[in-house]
Amino acid sequence: MRGWLSYTARSRPISEQIAAYKKLEDQLATYQQMQVISFDERAGELFVSLKRMYPRLGTMDLKIAAITMVHQATLLTRNTKDFGQIQGIIIEDWTA
């Protein structure tokens, strides 16, 4: 979302602004069709443990991992290098 908002802010001619907002609306429509899995208390507790176990991995990656793991979900990512280090997470790379 930040990327699309930045893109709309950089658009100068009105025709580019209209096109940028259309792309933003399309992205929002896609998000509305997705199930959102929350960062809840269980994920927060697991995140704290993961942060201790994997101090070199990024905070957001570890939050994503915690959410995925407590909900026994599969994480779709092309970042198999980092997420692949986390024991017990299920990941798939659909870009290959």
- The domain locations on the chain are 2-32, 41-92
pTM of the model: 0.71
Mention every residue, 6+ apart, whose C-beta is less than 8 A from residue 81. Answer: none
The gap between the terminal CA atoms of the chain, to the nearest Å, is: 25
pLDDT tens by residue, 23-78: 999 989 998 998 889 999 999 999 999 999 999 999 999 999 999 999 999 999 99
- The pLDDT of residue 7 is 86
Is CATH 3.90.1150.10 correct for 41-92? no
Please name the helix (run of DSSP H) or strand (run of DSSP E) that holds residue 96, with its range, or none: none
Q: Residue 64 in contact with residue 54, Cβ under 8 Å?
A: no
